[in-house]
C-alpha cells in the first residue's frame, strides 16, 4: 500500500509538472512551426525637395542578418527592395498574400521600411504610398500576426488608429495562440527620423538591431520579445537624439495582440556565438568588427544583470566608455562564445579637451587618429622590411597586432594597420585598415577600411569602406567606395560615389556619379551610365549605350539602339520597350497616305514609332515605311498633346522597287483617351520630301526648293493633316 501511495504521489507530481510546462512546450512548438514572411524596403530618394539618404539599404541589410540568424526567418521567405516605387511595394505585398493563402500552419508577416515619408505616407522613388493603403495591404494578408515597422519621418501617423490611442502592449490575455497586429514607428507624427554617419545607419534601426541581438533581453531568458525590443529601441533612440540638431525622436506603437504570452522576435540560443558582458562591467560598450564596422553599441548599468550579444564568430574591437576613462581591447569570439573580462581591456590614453571629461563623440573622433608609440593594444613599428611575413621586421612582435608607417617587402608583407606607404614586389596585405598607399605587382589587400590608394598590375581588394582610388587589372571593394575604380574589371559591393571606369563594371549598391565601360551594371544608378551594354535596377539620371536595360523605374533618359525598362520617363532609340506602358497600334490617315498603321512603343513622356503607309490611287499612289520618335505631354486625366517626327522611305507605285525618296512627317496632335486601350487624335503635319532622281514626282504638290542649276536633290515641303485612333 505504501508503494502504491508513493507511486500515485509521483504520478501526480509528474502530471502537475507537465501541466505547468505545457504553455512553454506550446510556445516552443509554435515558434518552431511559425513561418515568417518578411519584406524589407529601403528608399533613399524622397523627391527633389528632400535630401538623399545614405543608409537605408544598410538598415535593411542589418535587419535581414539578425532576422535570418536569430529570428527564425529562412532566406527564401525574406525579400529586400531598394528604391522601389509604390506600385512595386504593392505588387510584392500582394505576392506575399497569395503565397500565405496557400501556406498551412501558423504564419507571420514582418514588414520594415527605412526611408522618407510625410504625414500622408511613404515617399517611394517619386511616388506616394499612403499609410491607409499600406495598413490595408498588410492587414489583408492571411497570417496570424502582422508586424509593421517604419523608420521614417512623421511615421507616427501610421501607428494611429481611428480612436487615436494606442493599446497597451503589456496586457496579456489568455487564448490558444497570439494573433493581431503590431505596428512600430521610429518617430511621432511631427518628428524627423535621423541617420548617423558614425553608426552608418539610422538611430532607431541601429538600436532595434542591437536590442534584437540581445541588448534588449531584460529578463535574461535568452529570448527578445516584442515589448523588450520596443522598450530598448525607444530608450536608446531618445537618449541618442536628445542633443542632435534634428531633436529627440520618440518611437510610437499600435499593438493589438490577443493570446497567451508575448511575441518572441529573436531567440539568442540559436546564435552562432555570444559575447557575454558580466555584471561587473558598466558603461557604454562599443563593439566593432575586424573591418571597423559598428557591430553593437549599448549602455550597461553596473547594477544590471549580465548581458549577452549574439554575433558572428570572429575578431572584434571592444571599447568600454566609462565616466572617468576609456578601455579598449581586441577580442576573438569563438563559435561557442566567451565571457568578456575587464582584463581583456586596457586603458586608452586620450587627449580630448572637453568641459566635463571625455565625451563619446569626442572619443569616436580621436579613435580615427593613428595610434601612438605607447598604445597598449597595438605595437607600432615605424618601418618594416622583409621577404614574407615570418621573415620580416614585423615578426619580432609575437602577441600584439602591428602598425607600420612604411613597409618594403621583396615578397609580400603583412601588418594590422598601415599609416603611410607599403611597397611589395609580389603583394601587400593589411588585415585592418590602410591610410596611405599600397603598391604591389600581383595583389594588394586591405582587410578593413582604405583611405588612400591601391595600385597593382593584378588584383586590389578592400573589405571595408574605401576613400580614394583603386588601380589595377581587377579591383574589388566589398563595402562603400568614395573615389575612383579604374581597371579591366571593377566590383563594388556597396555604394560607389565617384567614378567606375573599365571594361566590365559591377556595382551591387548605388552608383552616384559616372560608370563607363563595355558592360556596366549598377543596382541603383544616380548619374550617367555609359556602356555598349548598360544594365541597372533603378535609374535616376541617364543611361547611354547600344543596349540599355533597367529592371525598375528610370527617372531620366535612356539613349540607345535598344532600350528596355519597367517604367521609363524618356527612352530614345530604334526600339524602346517600357513594360509598364506596353505597346499600342495607331490607325490613322494623312495627306501623304490614305491609310497608315503604326506600332507605338511608349515610355512615360516619349515614344518610338514604327509606321507603314499606303496611298492606293491617284498621282501619288505608292507606299511608305518609316521610323520615328515623339514626346507625349499629359494635359489632364484624359487629354494629351504630342509632337513627333517620322522619317519614311517612299516607294512610288506598286510595280517595282526603286530608289526611295525620303519623306519627313512632323505631326503636332491633340488626343483624347476614352479608355486605357482606346484614344482618338488629330492635328496638323509639316512635310518635307527629298527626291534623288531627276523629274521625280512629289508625294503631294508643294513648294519646290530646287533650282535649274541644282536639279538634284529636289526638296519640297507642304502642310498637311493627321487624324486617327490609338488602340
CATH code for the domain of 300: 2.60.40.1120
The reply to whether 589 falls in a domain is: yes
Rounded to 5°, angle at Cα 497 from 510 and 371: 120
User: Where are any strands of DSSP class E within 186-339?
Assistant: 195-196, 201-202, 223-225, 252-258, 264-267, 273-277, 283-289, 294-300, 307-311, 314-321, 326-333, 338-339
Q: How confident is the model at residue 622 (pLDDT cuts 50, 70, 90)?
A: confident
pLDDT at 165: 37
pLDDT above 50 for 354: no
Mean pLDDT of the region 671-686: 93
Greater pLDDT, 368 or 265: 265
pLDDT above 80 for 348: no
Same-domain status, 200 and 341? no
User: Where are any strands of DSSP class E within 692-726?
Assistant: 703-704, 714-726
The reply to whether 55 falls in a domain is: yes
The strand pairing partners of 320, in sequence order, are 285, 327
Q: For 172-225, what is each residue's pLDDT tens digit?
A: 333 346 788 889 888 887 777 788 777 778 889 998 999 999 888 888 888 899
The DSSP secondary-structure symbol of 376 reads: S
Tally of CB atoms within 10 A around 143:
24
Task: Look at the block and give the residue holding cell 552562432.
Answer: 272
Mean pLDDT of the region 553-567: 94
pLDDT at 356: 32
pLDDT at 67: 92
Closest CA relative to residue 490, chosen from 465, 519, 532, 526: 519
Same-domain status, 715 and 662? yes
Same-domain status, 527 and 598? no
pLDDT at 370: 52
Mean pLDDT of the region 337-364: 59
pLDDT above 50 for 170: no
The reply to whether 573 falls in a domain is: yes
Cα(316)–Cα(129) distance, rounded to whole angstroms? 41
The reply to whether 111 falls in a domain is: yes
Same-domain status, 567 and 593? no
pLDDT at 324: 76
Q: How large is the greatest C-alpha to C-alpha distance in the chain, in angstroms? A: 136
Closest CA relative to residue 540, chosen from 510, 505, 518, 579: 510
The reply to whether 427 falls in a domain is: yes
Q: Based on the number of CB atoms within 10 Å of its own CB, is 659 exposed (0-12), middle (13-18) or buried (19 or more)?
A: exposed
Q: What percent of the chain is predicted at pLDDT more than 70?
A: 83
**Strand, helix or coil at 187?**
coil
Q: What percent of the chain is predicted at pLDDT more than 90?
A: 44
Written as one string, the DSSP assignment of 87-142 is HHHHHHHHHHHHHHHT--S-EEEEEEEES-B-SSEEEETTEEEEHHHHHHHHHTS-
pLDDT above 90 for 670: yes
Same-domain status, 695 and 657? yes
Grid cell for residue 524: 541603383
Greater pLDDT, 27 or 56: 56
pLDDT at 321: 83
Whole-number average pLDDT of the chain? 83
pLDDT at 314: 84
pLDDT at 700: 57
> H-helix or E-strand containing 238?
helix 226-241
Same-domain status, 614 and 657? yes
Q: Let me know: does 630 contact 642? Beta carbons within 8 Å.
A: yes
Cα(713)–Cα(660) distance, rounded to whole angstroms? 12
Q: For 51-70, what is each residue's pLDDT tens digit?
A: 778 889 889 999 998 999 88
Mean pLDDT of the region 564-591: 92
Mean pLDDT of the region 415-430: 94
Q: What is the CA radius of gyration of the chain?
A: 33
Cα(507)–Cα(491) distance, rounded to whole angstroms? 6
Q: How confident is the model at residue 358 (pLDDT cuts 50, 70, 90)?
A: very low
Q: Based on the number of CB atoms within 10 Å of its own CB, is 523 exposed (0-12), middle (13-18) or buried (19 or more)?
A: buried
By mean pLDDT, which of 352-361, 546-555, 679-688 is the weakest? 352-361
**Strand, helix or coil at 649?**
strand
Cβ-proximal residues to 137 (8 Å cutoff; 6+ apart), any chain? 90, 93, 94, 97
Cα(231)–Cα(235) distance, rounded to whole angstroms? 6
Q: Let me know: does 57 contact 40? Beta carbons within 8 Å.
A: no
The reply to whether 285 falls in a domain is: yes
Q: How confident is the model at residue 619 (pLDDT cuts 50, 70, 90)?
A: low
pLDDT at 243: 67
Of 553, 580, 607, which residue sits at a domain end? 580
By mean pLDDT, which of 211-225, 544-558, 603-617 is the weakest? 211-225
Virtual torsion, Cα 242, 247, 248, 252, nearest 10 deg: -170
Q: Let me know: does 636 contact 671? Beta carbons within 8 Å.
A: no
Parallel/antiparallel/unpaired status of strands 622-634 and 606-615: antiparallel
pLDDT at 303: 59
**Strand, helix or coil at 44?**
coil
Domain span holding position 173 = 30-269
pLDDT at 21: 38
Grid cell for residue 430: 593589411
Same-domain status, 54 and 142? yes
pLDDT at 361: 46
By mean pLDDT, which of 100-104, 232-236, 434-438, 448-452 is the weakest? 232-236
Question: Cis bond leading into 502, ω under 30°?
Answer: no
Q: For 70-129, what is each residue's pLDDT tens digit?
A: 888 998 999 999 888 888 899 999 999 999 999 998 899 999 999 988 888 898 877 889
Mean pLDDT of the region 137-164: 78
Grid cell for residue 672: 483624347
Q: Let me know: does 560 contact 577? Beta carbons within 8 Å.
A: no
CATH number reported for the structural domain that contains residue 660 in this entry: 2.40.160
- φ/ψ of 74, rounded to 5, equals -80, 155
Of 565, 580, 595, which residue sits at a domain end? 580
Mean pLDDT of the region 510-523: 95
Predicted TM-score of the model (pTM): 0.76
- φ/ψ of 214, rounded to 5, equals 130, -20
The reply to whether 365 falls in a domain is: no
pLDDT at 160: 58
Same-domain status, 265 and 278? no
Same-domain status, 438 and 320? no
Same-domain status, 174 and 260? yes
Cα(628)–Cα(596) distance, rounded to whole angstroms? 13
Same-domain status, 719 and 637? yes
By mean pLDDT, which of 88-102, 245-259, 453-467 is the weakest? 245-259
By mean pLDDT, which of 50-54, 58-62, 516-520, 707-711 is the weakest? 707-711
- Count of helices and strands (H, E) across the chain: 7, 42
pLDDT at 371: 56
**Strand, helix or coil at 7?**
helix
pLDDT above 80 for 419: yes
For residues 467-506, one letter each, b for 16 or more C-beta atoms within 10 angstroms of the residue's C-beta and e for the rest, the string is bbbbbbebbbbbbbbebbbbbebbbbbbbbbbbbbbebbb
Grid cell for residue 718: 507642304
Cα(548)–Cα(559) distance, rounded to whole angstroms? 8
The reply to whether 230 falls in a domain is: yes
pLDDT at 248: 83
Q: For 261-302, what is each residue's pLDDT tens digit?
A: 678 888 887 766 888 888 878 888 888 887 777 888 888 776
pLDDT at 172: 32
The answer for 667, left when phi > 0, alpha when psi is -120 to 50, beta otherwise, is beta
pLDDT above 60 for 651: yes
Same-domain status, 67 and 118? yes
Q: In what order do the strands lie in the sheet with 35-42?
A: 78-82, 35-42, 107-114, 145-151, 179-185, 252-258
Of 223, 254, 269, which residue sits at a domain end? 269
Mean pLDDT of the region 687-701: 68
Give the count of domains, the chain. 5
pLDDT at 376: 63
CATH number reported for the structural domain that contains residue 41 in this entry: 3.40.50.1460
> H-helix or E-strand containing 3?
helix 2-33
Amino acid at each position: 500500500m505504501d508503494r502504491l501511495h508513493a507511486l500515485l504521489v509521483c504520478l501526480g507530481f509528474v502530471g502537475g509538472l507537465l501541466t505547468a510546462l505545457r504553455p512553454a512546450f506550446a510556445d516552443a512548438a509554435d515558434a518552431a512551426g511559425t513561418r515568417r514572411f518578411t519584406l524589407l524596403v529601403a528608399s533613399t530618394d524622397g523627391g527633389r525637395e528632400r535630401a538623399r539618404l545614405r543608409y537605408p539599404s544598410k538598415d535593411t541589410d542589418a535587419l535581414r542578418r539578425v532576422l535570418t540568424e536569430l529570428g527564425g526567418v529562412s532566406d527564401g521567405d525574406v525579400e529586400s527592395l531598394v528604391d522601389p516605387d509604390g506600385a512595386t511595394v504593392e505588387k510584392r505585398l500582394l505576392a506575399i498574400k497569395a503565397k500565405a493563402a496557400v501556406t498551412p500552419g501558423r504564419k507571420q508577416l514582418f514588414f520594415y521600411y527605412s526611408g522618407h515619408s510625410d504625414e500622408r505616407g511613404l515617399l517611394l522613388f517619386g511616388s506616394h504610398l499612403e499609410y491607409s493603403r499600406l495598413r490595408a495591404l498588410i492587414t489583408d494578408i492571411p497570417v496570424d500576426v502582422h508586424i509593421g515597422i517604419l523608420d521614417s519621418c512623421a511615421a507616427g501617423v501610421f501607428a494611429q488608429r481611428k480612436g487615436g490611442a494606442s493599446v497597451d502592449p503589456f496586457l496579456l490575455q489568455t487564448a490558444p495562440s497570439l494573433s493581431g497586429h503590431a505596428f512600430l514607428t521610429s518617430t511621432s507624427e511631427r518628428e524627423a527620423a535621423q541617420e548617423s554617419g558614425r553608426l552608418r545607419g539610422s538611430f532607431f534601426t541601429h538600436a532595434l538591431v542591437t536590442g534584437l541581438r540581445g541588448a534588449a533581453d531584460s529578463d535574461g531568458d535568452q529570448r527578445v520579445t516584442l515589448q523588450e525590443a520596443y522598450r530598448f529601441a525607444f530608450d536608446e533612440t531618445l537618449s541618442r537624439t536628445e542633443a542632435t540638431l534634428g531633436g529627440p525622436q520618440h518611437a510610437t506603437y499600435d499593438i493589438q495582440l490577443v493570446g497567451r504570452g508575448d511575441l518572441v522576435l529573436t531567440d539568442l540560443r540559436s546564435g552562432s556565438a555570444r559575447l557575454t558582458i558580466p555584471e561587473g562591467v558598466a558603461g557604454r560598450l562599443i563593439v566593432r568588427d575586424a573591418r571597423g564596422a559598428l557591430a553593437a553599441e549599448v549602455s550597461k548599468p553596473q547594477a544590471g544583470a549580465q548581458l549577452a550579444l549574439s554575433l558572428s564568430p570572429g575578431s572584434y574591437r571592444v571599447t568600454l566608455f566609462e565616466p572617468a576613462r576609456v578601455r579598449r581591447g581586441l577580442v576573438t569570439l569563438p563559435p561557442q562564445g566567451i565571457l568578456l573580462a575587464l582584463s581583456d581591456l586596457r586603458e586608452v590614453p586620450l587627449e580630448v579637451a572637453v568641459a566635463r571629461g571625455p565625451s563619446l563623440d569626442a572619443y569616436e573622433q580621436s579613435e580615427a587618429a593613428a595610434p601612438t608609440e605607447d598604445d597598449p593594444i597595438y605595437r607600432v613599428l615605424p618601418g618594416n622590411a622583409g621577404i614574407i611575413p615570418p621573415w620580416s621586421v614585423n615578426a619580432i612582435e609575437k602577441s600584439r597586432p602591428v602598425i607600420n608607417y612604411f613597409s618594403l617587402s621583396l615578397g609580400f608583407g603583412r601588418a594590422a594597420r598601415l599609416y603611410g606607404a607599403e611597397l611589395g614586389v609580389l603583394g601587400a596585405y593589411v588585415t585592418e585598415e590602410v591610410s596611405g598607399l599600397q603598391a604591389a605587382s600581383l595583389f594588394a589587400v586591405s582587410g578593413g577600411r582604405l583611405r588612400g590608394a591601391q595600385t597593382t598590375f593584378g588584383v586590389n581588394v578592400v573589405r571595408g569602406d574605401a576613400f580614394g582610388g583603386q588601380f589595377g587589372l581587377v579591383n574589388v571593394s566589398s563595402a562603400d567606395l568614395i573615389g575612383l575604380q579604374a581597371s579591366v574589371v571593377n566590383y563594388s559591393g556597396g555604394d560607389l560615389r565617384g567614378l567606375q571606369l573599365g571594361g566590365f563594371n559591377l556595382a551591387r549598391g548605388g552608383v552616384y556619379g559616372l560608370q563607363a565601360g563595355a558592360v556596366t551594371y549598377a543596382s541603383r544608378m544616380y548619374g550617367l551610365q555609359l556602356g555598349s551594354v548598360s544594365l541597372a535596377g533603378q535609374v535616376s539620371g541617364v543611361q547611354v549605350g547600344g543596349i540599355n536595360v533597367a529592371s525598375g523605374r528610370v527617372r531620366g533618359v535612356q539613349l540607345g539602339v535598344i532600350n528596355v525598362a519597367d517604367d521609363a520617363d524618356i527612352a530614345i532609340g530604334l526600339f524602346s520597350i517600357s513594360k509598364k506602358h506596353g505597346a499600342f497600334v495607331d490607325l490613322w490617315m494623312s495627306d501623304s497616305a490614305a491609310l497608315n498603321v503604326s506600332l507605338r512603343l511608349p515610355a512615360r513622356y516619349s515614344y518610338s514609332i514604327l509606321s507603314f503607309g499606303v496611298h492606293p490611287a491617284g498621282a501619288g499612289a505608292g507606299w511608305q515605311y518609316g521610323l520615328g520618335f515623339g514626346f507625349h505631354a499629359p494635359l489632364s486625366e484624359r487629354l494629351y498633346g504630342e509632337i513627333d517626327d517620322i522619317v519614311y522611305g517612299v516607294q512610288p507605285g506598286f510595280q517595282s522597287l526603286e530608289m526611295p525618296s525620303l519623306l519627313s512627317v512632323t505631326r503636332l496632335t491633340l488626343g483624347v483617351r476614352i479608355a486605357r486601350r482606346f484614344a482618338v487624335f488629330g492635328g496638323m503635319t509639316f512635310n518635307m520630301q527629298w527626291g534623288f532622281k531627276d523629274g521625280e514626282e512629289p508625294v503631294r504638290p508643294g513648294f519646290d526648293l530646287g533650282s535649274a542649276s541644282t536639279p538634284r536633290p529636289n526638296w519640297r515641303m507642304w502642310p498637311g493633316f493627321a487624324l486617327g485612333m490609338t488602340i
